[in-house]
Homo-oligomer: A and B are copies of this chain.
């Protein structure tokens, strides 16, 4: 999938910042923080524009937030999400060695039984450990 194509599908104008950020996320298997993104794109790009780009992508459902144990926010592509049909219920894995966070789309989300009176709308699972590369 090309960045330009994804942008068109979401009715977003193709600008260089959007193209670069989206292209980066498309080609990176891990979730990236804003600062990591900034380091990997044209250094002349305004930091504010990156903020707004990520915000737009979140709103339009192109990407989702991935939480880090430290509280840092990273971003990753929504793979299976339609515009109004979000599905972020996959497991996120953070490696203690290399620090990289990835979405394990193929790992099924377990059933969680809460006490009576609770209603679940979303489950967010972050697993820590050692990844395949570092193990």
**How many identical chains are in the complex?**
2
Whether B117 pairs with A128 at a CB distance below 8 angstroms is no
Q: Of residues 99 to 135 in A, which have CB atoms within 8 Å of B's CB atoms?
A: 104, 106-108, 110-132, 135
Whether B127 pairs with A123 at a CB distance below 8 angstroms is yes
The count of chain A contact residues (Cβ–Cβ below 8 Å) is 39
Contact of A107 among B104, B115, B129, B132 (CB under 8 A): B115
Q: A69-B124, A71-B67, A124-B128 are in contact. Are A135 and B112 (CB under 8 A)?
A: no
Nearest B residue to A66 via CB reads B71
A20 to B117, CA, bound (A): 32
Is there a chain B Cβ closer than 8 Å to A4's Cβ?
A: no
Q: Of residues 17 to 42 in A, which have CB atoms within 8 Å of B's CB atoms?
A: none
Whether B110 pairs with A121 at a CB distance below 8 angstroms is no
Nearest B residue to A73 via CB reads B71
Q: Of residues 48 to 107 in A, which have CB atoms within 8 Å of B's CB atoms?
A: 65, 67-73, 91, 93, 96, 104, 106-107
Q: Which of A65, A73, A114 has the most CB of B within 10 A?
A: A114
A103, chain B: closest CB distance, angstroms? 12
